[in-house]
Structure 1
Amino acid sequence: MKPDIKAWARKYESLTNNDETIAAMALYYTCSFIFDMEHARILIEMHDGKVKRIETNAGPMDACDFLLKASAATWREFSRPIPLPMYHGIWSASFRRDLKIEGNHLVLMKNLRNFTVQFELLRKSGVPV
């Protein structure tokens, strides 16, 4: 059964917009990024710590500040409540697994704390692949 990507997007947006840690540091958390999950390509635009837009069918020409690309299996492992070693974060997965981080690394680094909190919300929302 194919996951309902629109329902996932609504849940992920709600988790992000209601996260107390992101809210506490949100003022300058403004960027856009893509989660390329092999079978789904999701563009997320953030503005001052709130989801401005989630595009669940992002195309190759959709612009973003940075992109995380990995196999569906890697994304599923990221979304486990307690992931296996080397799937617990983007850096470990980029060094030892198939995760690729592309784009403007300066924007990622400027927003790293908030992005990390938001990325870890995948453990609550799951992934649509």
Structure 2
Amino acid sequence: MTRFNSQWMNAWQDTVNADPTLKIIGRYFTADFLVGFDDQEYVVSVRNGVIQRVTDSLSIETPWSFALRAPTESWEKFTQKLPPPMFNDLWAMAHPLHGRLRMDGDVKVLWQNVRALTWMLERMREVADQVVVEERATRV
């Protein structure tokens, strides 16, 4: 499975939506945001803390409030079970001295929902663990 493809993003959506904590901390999080892995971009539609849809069918008319864009290599490090320094959270990845993650758009919406958003993104590590297990199983 290629990392960060549509199947991976759907697995992330399922993992996020199954998390009971998010139903509490994300209950007011309603926004569309973009997540970019190099040239591959997805719009994530969140309603009351539930990811309703993840799409890679984007056009100039696809609305989103804010964007998180980073090289695939950075996202791969971020999604490790124990990420290396400067890849352990969004703020480290976006640090001006590091500069791997770009935040664009209406970052006010990002800051208003920062706890739920970071919780959602941390669930990517659970999906990454599943992918590693599946890859090992297919090699045997």
Both proteins in one fold, TM over 0.5: yes
SS at match of 1:64: coil
User: 2:67 and 2:7 mapped to 1: Cα distance?
Assistant: 22
Structure 1's 21 and 103: CA in aligned 2 closer, same or farther, altered over 3 A? same
Task: Calculate percent identity across the aligned residue pairs.
Answer: 22
Which one scores higher on RCO, CA 8 angstroms, separation ≥ 6? 1
User: 1:70 and 1:60 mapped to 2: Cα distance?
Assistant: 20
User: 1:53 and 1:24 mapped to 2: Cα distance?
Assistant: 19
Query: Relative to structure 2, which stretch is displaced further, 73-82 or 56-65?
Result: 56-65
Structure 1: which 5+ runs fail to align?
none
The count of corresponding residues between Structure 1 and Structure 2 is 127
Does 2:8 match 1:8? yes
| Matched ranges for 1:14-25 at <5 A | 14-25=14-25
Partner of 1:104: 106
CA RMSD of aligned residues (A): 1.9
Structure 1's 2 and 26: CA in aligned 2 closer, same or farther, altered over 3 A? closer
| Matched ranges for 1:2-81 at <5 A | 2-3=2-3, 5-59=5-59, 61-81=61-81
Structure 1's 84 and 64: CA in aligned 2 closer, same or farther, altered over 3 A? same
SS at match of 1:27: coil
Query: Relative to structure 2, which stretch is displaced further, 53-62 or 107-116?
Result: 53-62
Answer with 1 or 2: which has the greater Rg.
2
User: 1:79 and 1:69 mapped to 2: Cα distance?
Assistant: 14
Structure 2: which 5+ runs fail to align?
132-140
**Aligned-partner residue type, residue 20 of structure 2:** E
Structure 1's 64 and 27: CA in aligned 2 closer, same or farther, altered over 3 A? same
Instruction: Give the deviation of 1:68 after TM superposition.
Output: 0.7
Partner of 1:123: 125
